[in-house]
Structure 1
Amino acid sequence: MKRIITLITLAAASLPATAQQQVISVDTSPAKAFYATDAWNKAFMGYYGVDSGTEPGVTEDTDEREVLGQIREFLQSGSDSGIRSATQAIATLVQQQQAKGVATSPMMLQIAGTLEMRNAEITNNYTEKAQILRRSEDYLRRAIEAFPNFLRAHKNLANLLFRNDRAAEAKKHFIKAVELGDKDAVTYGLLGAIFMEEGKLISSETSLRNSLMINPTILEFKQLLGNVLLQQERYGEAKEVFAELLLKRPNEVNFWMAQSNCYIALDQIDEATRNLEIVRFMGKANVPSLMLLGDVYINKEMIDEATEVYLEAIALDPSDANLSNFIRASETLGNFAAYSQAMSVITKIDGNYKDRLSDEQEIELLSLKSEINISLGKGKEAAGNLEALLKKDPFNARALLSLARYYSDADIDESLEVEQQDLQRSRYQQQAIIYYERAQNLDDQTSQVRAFIGEAQLRVQRDELELAADLLADAQSIQYQDNVQAYLDQIRAALKNRRRS
């Protein structure tokens, strides 16, 4: 039988799912990470140039030609100071042209905007960086206004906008660049990231495959392709994509985990376990990977191994963000009748989150403790848990009914004298009646019915048949049930016979 497990995605929070279904969160971070790679640096250097086929020609202005020569010399050094000097040279030129009333050529504006993009990359001051980026955008928009089919200006503006979380605007300029004949792997790859963010998975896949066909070495775009395939539930293909990525970056935890998701979806649990244990062995396991490994062990019914991993996850990062997953783990163990293991996880949670539990979370843990103690035959401990729960939540129907049943069926101390035993039994039953009556006054009709029936059964034990009949009639008035009616008919018949005698 399939067991409920939890799947995670490449940088997403854990999500409950079955082995045949997973929800993948959109993750465009690999696209942003691309800007820190050598591939981007090499591509960017090409963005200063001129393509006379789709762009304005080289300027005839002698001042601009002179500054172009200076820029080439500055950029040859490859240093940050060279970038700043080139940026300053062209900024000075633009200011001088404005003062003379001379229009700066589109080609020079595009180069100025591109240089400012690079200048922003090497600037650490946030305020200064924002000012530089605004100048860059202004230069590039002016270049496009002067020459609407300026391919390189559209492409550079698109990159600028995308990097600053303005994907919708960037998309228009990337598409325009493609319409103008751009065949750059970067353009296609970032378009793929934008389409993925929009949920247009087929368009995203097409763009990413075009990018990788042009340049298969950009691993960030290959990772995005793997994510897109995961979202389309094409697990077999996604698995192979992440296998290729692992050949290039075997220490990348996200790749191992993503491939594990594929294996789980394909019901290849042993392979998933192997991947997750590799991450653990590497010493790079985090809470999501450990929780996923624990769920895989649950799926394989390896309860002790799952418990060990869950406890390791709690110790690794007992932050508030992970608490709901830890509580879920204890509940999962309880569902598998692994009561002592579930209690060990709860104890660990208590130790790490003692003063940080919300009322709702504390109530949830108390409920779990009571259920586990009842299952372990520890009635007194369970009652203590339930009574503590009611202090937090006086209207908790489950706690009221569980306590009522506990006191209804509580064992009597047989070492006592008969008279004392009767007194103890009476005290327990009165306590049960109190809890049943509290549950009968709740707004939840299902709980009301259960409370009326439960008290009626107790009244029968006490030979209080008339009260039992009234309670069952109340239950039937809320929710009619054939079996309850049959029980009520038996009690009424007994009462009738009693009156005759």
Structure 2
Amino acid sequence: MKLVHSKAYAAIMVSACLYAQSNSTHAELHIKLQQPTWEFLLHNQPQPTTELSTQAQLASSESHFASKIQPLLAAQKYDAVLKAFNERDIKNDSAALRQLRGQILLSMQRTKEAEQALLAAIELMPNLALAHRSLSMVYMVEKNYVAASKHLRKTIELGVADAQVYGQLAYVNLQQGQAASAVAGYQYALLLDSDNQQWQQGLLYALINSQAFDQAQALLEGMLQANPKDTNLWLQRGQIALKQQRPQQALSSLETALVLGENNADNIATLAQLHIQSGSANRAVTLLANNITKMVANNNKIEVIDQVCAWLAYQQQWQQLANLTQALQKNTNNIPAHYRSRFAVYAAQVAQSNGKTKHATKLLEEAVNNDPSNGEALLTLANILRSQQRTQRANLYYIRAEALADYKERALLGRAQLEIDANNYPEALRLLRLVAQLNPARTDVLANIQSLENLVRNRS
């Protein structure tokens, strides 16, 4: 007598395949984007004192000092300028010189000292626009976006409202999670400087963060026309497509990025998963196998490979599964024991599909050695041994699997089948009743119990 649902316990495991269906083909995918480089400081170099006078006048006693540092400023020899400033007491300087000192310090990335100098300038002249603007830069560098926003708004209020200021304010708003305000700021910046790629990139990020994907898509297509070889733009196109549930566009965008030189492991893994979802397993396996070294260097990427292997096993695409497991064998030293065990089970499935039961058994034993808690390996090995009528060893592996909560039910069913094969129906009944207690919804088990009870009664 055989249990009605004994096929569920054949050597090809089922639960891993179900895992592949629920995770590999439907998991939310992401594309890793490079953070843009914001270059605000390049547009805020210290200005010669003659230009500063339009907002803050030098004192007559400072003209000699101004003429002394003028050529040093022109040559951008800021160390020498600062040395000259250090010979003066800032308390005796005008707002113009205090502001210039702050700009010099900011250019040298001495932000704390720059902050003190600029605040001192504002103390003398509260409406000194350039000092507020430079002070906003100090706070942006220090990531104090609340303070940066305050001084940028003051700068605009004082009449300095160029593209750079609007772009900086948009950036600050974006960093504070105010994506809608950032959109408006970047749009103002682009009105004043329409070809500025930094403002375009900022607007794109702001639109994506405000969930305005259609607008982001339209902007991005224009940016791609101007820069078709910009890898990061193609990655962003893919990310927007994922957000809009358009996997084919995401796939094609990532493939283009790959041609242009993209080699980030996260994005290769995402592309492989997209190919699995679209049914192109060959391409998915090629991507993973060709980049296997960088994949196994990251546990998150190993999990993706595991999911793809499980999906291939479920689809019985044995040749592709063989290609992937063979690639993994070259990197076994870099793979944690838990995953080595799982990959050995997949390789065993390939061996079984080719009728190589002996090799499959060896691989399953390796899997158990690498991870004694691998229930799939224990059950699959037990099933092979049972099919070979090596009942004692099979029973030992079933008992080991039974100790694992997630595999107890299947292990009990395997043991019950062993007892049925040995015509030990009372023990088989006891084991099946344990299964029924664990899972009362198993009507097939209840039917098997009834059949066995009838058989026992007829025998007596």
TM-score range, shorter-chain basis? Answer: 0.7 to 0.9
- The residue aligned with 1:450 is 410
Distance 2:295 2:374 in 1: 31
Q: CA deviation at 1:251?
A: 3.0
8 Å CA contact retained: 2:398, 2:412:
yes
CA distance in 1, matches of 2:348, 2:387: 16
Distance in 2 between the 1:142 and 1:439 partners? 74
TM-aligned CA distance change 1:324 to 1:490, over 3 Å: closer
Change (3 A) 1:305 1:240: same
Are 1:86 and 2:81 matched, yes or no? yes
1:117 to 106, 111, 135: 106
CA contact (8 A) 1:47 1:156 kept: no
The amino acid across from 2:81 in the alignment is: A
Q: C-alpha separation between the residues in 2 aligned to 1:18 and 1:170? A: 42
Number of residue pairs aligned between Structure 1 and Structure 2: 437
Further displaced range: 43-52 or 329-338: 43-52
Contact 1:26/1:197, CA 8 A, preserved across alignment: no
Q: Which region of structure 1 is more displaced relative to structure 2, 283-292 or 153-162?
A: 283-292
Cα distance, 1:182 vs structure 2: 4.0
* CA distances 1:358-406 after superposition (whole Å, capped 9, x unpaired): 2233233234334444555544333333322222322332222222222
Deviations 1:242-278 (A, max 9, x none): 2233344333211122113334555666655554444
Per the TM alignment, residue 114 of structure 1 is displaced from its structure 2 partner at its CA by: 0.6
CA distance in 2, matches of 1:17, 1:197: 34
Q: Counterpart in 1 of 2:231? A: 253
- Per-residue deviation at 1:467? 0.6
Q: Does 1:200 align with 2:161?
A: no
Q: Give the secondary-structure state (helix, strand or coil) at the position aligned to 1:394.
A: coil
Between the two structures, name the one with larger relative contact order (CA 8 Å, sep ≥ 6): 2
How far is 1:112 from its partner?
0.7
Of all paired residues, the percent bearing the same amino acid is 20
Contact in 2 for aligned 1:140/1:157 (Cα 8 Å): yes
- Specify the alignment match of 2:13 in structure 1: none
> Matched residues in 1 for 2:261 and 2:430: separation?
66
Number of the residue aligned with 1:338: 317
Aligned AA (1:488) = I
Secondary structure at the counterpart of residue 57 of structure 2: coil
Map of 1:112-261 to 2, 5 A cutoff?
A: 112-120=101-109, 132-261=110-239
Aligned to 1:183, the other structure's residue is in SS state: coil
Partner amino acid, structure 1, of 2:453? R
In 2, Cα distance between the equivalents of 1:474 and 1:314? 44
Cα distance, 1:191–1:378 mapped onto 2, change above 3 Å? farther
Indicate conservation of the 8 Å contact 2:24/2:311, yes or no.
no
Partner of 2:338: 360
Q: Which residue of 2 aligns with 1:41?
A: 42
- Name the TM-score, length of structure 2 as normaliser: 0.81
Cα distance, 1:202 vs structure 2 = 1.8
Partner of 2:402: 440
SS state at 2:228 partner? coil
Supply the RMSD in Å over aligned alpha carbons: 3.5
Contact 2:33/2:235, CA 8 A, preserved across alignment: no
Structure 2 distance, partners of 1:295, 1:190, is: 38
User: How far did residue 492 of structure 1 move?
Assistant: 1.7
Q: Is this contact kept in 2: 1:389–1:399, CA < 8 A?
A: yes
> Closer, same or farther in 2 for the Cα pair 1:198/1:330, shift >3 Å?
farther
CA distance in 1 between partners of 2:48 and 2:363 (Å): 68
Contact in 2 for aligned 1:144/1:150 (Cα 8 Å): yes
**What residue is the counterpart of 2:423 in the other structure?**
463
Match of 1:380 in 2: 358
Matches of 2:421 and 2:290 in 1, distance apart? 49
Indicate conservation of the 8 Å contact 2:235/2:254, yes or no. yes
Q: Does 1:394 align with 2:355?
A: no
Q: In the alignment, what sits opposite 1:9?
A: none
The aligned counterpart of 2:63 is 65
